Chains A and B, each alone.
Chain A
Amino acid sequence: MVNQPVSVRRLVTEPAACCVCGSRDSEPVGAGPDFEYRTSPDSFLAVRCQHCDVVYLDRRPIAAEFARIYPDHYHAFAFTEDRFGVVYSVRRRLEARRLLRTFRDLPPAARVIDVGCGDGFHLDLLQEFGPPGWLLEGVDLDDRAIAAARRRGLLVHRGRVEELDLPPDSFDAAILIQTIEHLADPLVVLRAVRRILRPGGSLLLVTDNTDSLDFALAKRRHWGGYHFPRHWYLFNPTSLAKLAAAADLEIASLDTMMSPVNWVYSARNALQDWGAPNRVVDRLSLESPVALALGTIWDTGHQLAGRGALLRATLRRPR
């Protein structure tokens, strides 16, 4: 990825506001380019809402730029066994265990929806390791992702959950795993999810954690969780609780989860930015089991201290 040329055309952007309170009362936090995919020559500004603590992109690409900021080799479309090898199989097992633990109380014929399902990675795990009676559905916007998910035999709705005509009060569980940070309006989406959940139904939400040491260290520029310009809203426990309250969802649990990814990318982005040789930078990638193993050990320590790299919340529609 390091050697890819930087695209020369600037992205068309539009201003954003805090997704919880709607204001632009913010302070600058960090600025940086698309370190990972180099899809444009722009630099992007992350700001923090002074009322809600939400970190967001001050200006973000307009919808018409999606095909550019999510190129064909984007990992959500191309996280495959032949490209990622041992990392792929380890991650599958880990994620399957986590998911099934979260959903252990679901009934045998539960209906589950994955909002922002991408290539169907998580639904596929539930399909393979979960009870056979679960009805699994996905929602995504991107044709490439939908095609990949359908190849796995999954039922995927094309569109936005707030615009699709999904039946209200009908799902036992929903998942938004590393999705909410990509959304233009997280609050509208959470409200739409609340509507289709049955009363008491639960939503598993996983997203990058801005209350983490890697954010504190790298927030001025290199933080992996910025994923410039694709992560539009980023949360800590406080701001996520405010978002949930605004969507009228109860918090059943809110804790953090270990992930090596942001550490690896923060370090990689910094080294690349400061002109380290490619052979050093290339050691730090999602395709490198060594970097991920070290990142895993390192972040496990942080997770035990309650400051893991990812936030994991189980939200519940009130009965």
Chain B
Amino acid sequence: MSQPPVYVLGAGFAGLAAAAELAALGVPATVLEAQATVGGLATSYERDGVHFDLGAHFVTNRLATALGVMDQCETLDRYGEAVWLDGRSAAYPFGLMGRPRFSASALAGRLRTARPASTAADSFRATYGDALAREVANPLVESWSGRPADELAPSVVDKIPGGLVATVALTAARRLTRRPVAIGYCNEAPQSMNVWHVYPRRGLGVFTDALAGRVESIRFETPIECIHVEHDRVVGVRIHGTDHPASGVISTLPAPTLARVLDHPVIAPLAHLRYRPMVFAMLHVRGRGLLPEPVTWFPDPALPFFRVTETAMAMPWIAPPDETLLTVDFGAAIGDAIWTASDSELAARAFSGLRDLIPDLSGRHLATHVTRTPIAYPVFALETEDARLAISRHGIEGLVSAGRNAEFGHYLMEDVYWRTLRSTRALARYVAG
């Protein structure tokens, strides 16, 4: 009797990466996708000559190589981040550290005896010092997550990698190689002067299409109804009302959704995990280089948004010459004033919040495109920390939860890829016995 397949839930980036790896390993697998197309959050579209991705992602030449699409990618013109503070911009990290009160408080923070941080606020204080924590880190994490920093778990800080020495060396490497070397964008594989930011010319759909080409079987419009577990072991799935035997399941469902289709006491707490909904207002405007850096952070609690990204500064090919795209990230709650705001209200809030930085923004405005995402960023709330840890420690044989939302982590795309390969290979070993 032939072995039943492994079912991969979701044909987004993580699901397709998992299924492609199963194919490479010779493990029979079927991808179940609720929608009619591949891509999930990594989908691209074009409007008015501007390429949009449902979410812009950080992508390196190493990831593009692993996917076999480096020939369809361009190196970013530049990449950098800045913080807009007191009406001035400071480049991250050296511009910030150049402000004496931040460097002094960071130094003082380092000199204090370290004790284990119990909240994100503690952790920021220990890592960055009081001033930087209070004026930058806390406000940003609060508008990002919608919760005060002392109600968040310190694990939120784990996602910010890189020491000072590595950062200095990699910054120097940007000059030597004339490439936007990635600094702090890979945790799962080593940083080096030979890993830099690239982006597909036609958008991220290139990645998921490449992966889909390596996958043997995808069933569209086939949502998972139930995952059957017996004696702590995955035995089957139910789709379209019919049960099918399964050797294993790789779920890329958001963690709380997994708890809805898998009835098991260790999975049940996942239902309490919450994501911060986001509203992304993409302003198509005249001009280029309107921000100090392609990604600019706004740690001002009075503002309704916390980050603005000008992708065309880094990737000039995504918009016509002398036009650009500002993506303004508003934290929201389902049904609140931001979530229900019209496109023009959101644009007006952006114009007003950005008036010191780009005084004539409303005069440059061409169009606004708005994306509302109920599941944007995981909220590392203290009270759900145990539930979050259950995702990787559930102990159910043949079950893997892989991908950004399924792992409930703020993982960047390359890290999602290597993590997914690792857990997929572990599942393949289990299936092989």
Contact of A43 among B70, B190, B425 (CB under 8 A): B70
> Contact between A31 and B194 (Cβ–Cβ < 8 Å)?
yes
**Is there a chain A Cβ closer than 8 Å to B66's Cβ?**
yes
**Is there a chain A Cβ closer than 8 Å to B64's Cβ?**
yes
Closest Cβ of chain B to A215, distance in Å, is: 14
List the A side residues contacting B178 at CB < 8 Å.
Answer: 274-275
B64-85: which residues lie under 8 A (CB-CB) from chain A?
Answer: 64-66, 68, 70-71
**Is there a chain A Cβ closer than 8 Å to B21's Cβ?**
yes
> Contact between A31 and B62 (Cβ–Cβ < 8 Å)?
yes
List the B side residues contacting A42 at CB < 8 Å.
Answer: 68, 70-71
**Is there a chain B Cβ closer than 8 Å to A45's Cβ?**
yes
Query: Mask for B164-198, Cβ within 8 A of A = 1, else 0?
Result: 00000000000011100000000001101111000
List the A side residues contacting B194 at CB < 8 Å.
Answer: 30-32, 220-222
Q: Which candidate, A20-28, A80-88, A120-128, A205-213, is the interface stretch facing chain B? A: A20-28
List the B side residues contacting A33 at CB < 8 Å.
Answer: 70
Contact of B24 among A24, A31, A43 (CB under 8 A): A24
Q: How far is the CA of A45 from the CA of B24 in the complex (A)?
A: 15
Query: Mask for A6-25, Cβ within 8 A of B = 1, else 0?
Result: 00001001010000000111
Contact of B61 among A23, A27, A31, A59 (CB under 8 A): A31
Closest Cβ of chain B to A311, distance in Å, is: 24
Closest Cβ of chain B to A269, distance in Å, is: 11
Measured as residues with beta carbon below 8 angstroms from the partner, the interface class of chain B is 20 to 34
**Is there a chain B Cβ closer than 8 Å to A41's Cβ?**
yes
> Contact between A274 and B68 (Cβ–Cβ < 8 Å)?
no
**Is there a chain B Cβ closer than 8 Å to A44's Cβ?**
yes
**Is there a chain B Cβ closer than 8 Å to A58's Cβ?**
yes
Closest Cβ of chain B to A8, distance in Å, is: 8
**Given A30-B194, A42-B71, A24 and B25 contact (CB-CB distance below 8 Å):** yes
List the B side residues contacting A30 at CB < 8 Å.
Answer: 194
Question: Which of B62, B178, B193 is most buried by chain A, counting CB atoms within 10 A of its CB?
Answer: B62
**Is there a chain A Cβ closer than 8 Å to B58's Cβ?**
no
Number of contacting residues on A, CB 8 A? Answer: 25
Closest Cβ of chain B to A55, distance in Å, is: 14
Closest Cβ of chain A to B336, distance in Å, is: 42
List the A side residues contacting B24 at CB < 8 Å.
Answer: 15, 24
> Contact between A24 and B425 (Cβ–Cβ < 8 Å)?
yes
Closest Cβ of chain B to A239, distance in Å, is: 19
Closest Cβ of chain B to A32, distance in Å, is: 8
List the A side residues contacting B339 at CB < 8 Å.
Answer: none
Q: How far is the CA of A31 from the CA of B66 in the complex (A)?
A: 8
> Contact between B21 and A24 (Cβ–Cβ < 8 Å)?
yes
List the B side residues contacting A275 at CB < 8 Å.
Answer: 178
Contact of A31 among B25, B65, B418, B425 (CB under 8 A): B65
> Contact between B65 and A45 (Cβ–Cβ < 8 Å)?
yes
Contact of B418 among A13, A28, A32, A222 (CB under 8 A): A28
Query: Mask for A27-59, Cβ within 8 A of B = 1, else 0?
Result: 110111100000001111100000000000011
> Contact between A58 and B177 (Cβ–Cβ < 8 Å)?
no
Of chain A, the residue at the smallest CB distance from B191 is: A220
**Given A42-B68, A43-B61, A43-B64, A274 and B195 contact (CB-CB distance below 8 Å):** no
Q: How far is the CA of A287 from the CA of B43 in the complex (A)?
A: 49
Q: How far is the CA of A28 from the CA of B194 in the complex (A)?
A: 13
List the B side residues contacting A220 at CB < 8 Å.
Answer: 190, 192-195
> Contact between B70 and A27 (Cβ–Cβ < 8 Å)?
no
Q: How far is the CA of A37 from the CA of B64 in the complex (A)?
A: 21
List the A side residues contacting B71 at CB < 8 Å.
Answer: 10, 41-43
List the B side residues contacting A221 at CB < 8 Å.
Answer: 192, 194
Closest Cβ of chain A to B260, distance in Å, is: 33
List the A side residues contacting B70 at CB < 8 Å.
Answer: 31, 33, 41-43
**Given A15-B24, A24-B425, A220-B195, A45 and B66 contact (CB-CB distance below 8 Å):** yes
> Contact between A43 and B189 (Cβ–Cβ < 8 Å)?
no
List the B side residues contacting A274 at CB < 8 Å.
Answer: 176-178
Q: How far is the CA of A45 from the CA of B25 in the complex (A)?
A: 17
List the B side residues contacting A41 at CB < 8 Å.
Answer: 70-71
List the A side residues contacting B193 at CB < 8 Å.
Answer: 220
Closest Cβ of chain B to A12, distance in Å, is: 10
Between-chain CB contacts (< 8 Å), 19 pairs: A10-B68, A13-B68, A23-B425, A24-B21, A24-B24, A31-B66, A31-B70, A31-B194, A33-B70, A41-B71, A42-B68, A42-B70, A43-B61, A43-B64, A43-B65, A59-B68, A220-B195, A221-B192, A222-B194
Interface of B toward A, CB cutoff 8 Å = 21, 23-25, 61-62, 64-66, 68, 70-71, 176-178, 189-190, 192-195, 418, 425, 429
| Known A31-B66, A43-B61, A220-B192; further 11 A-B contacts with Cβ < 8 A | A28-B62, A28-B66, A33-B70, A42-B70, A42-B71, A43-B65, A45-B65, A220-B190, A220-B193, A220-B194, A221-B194
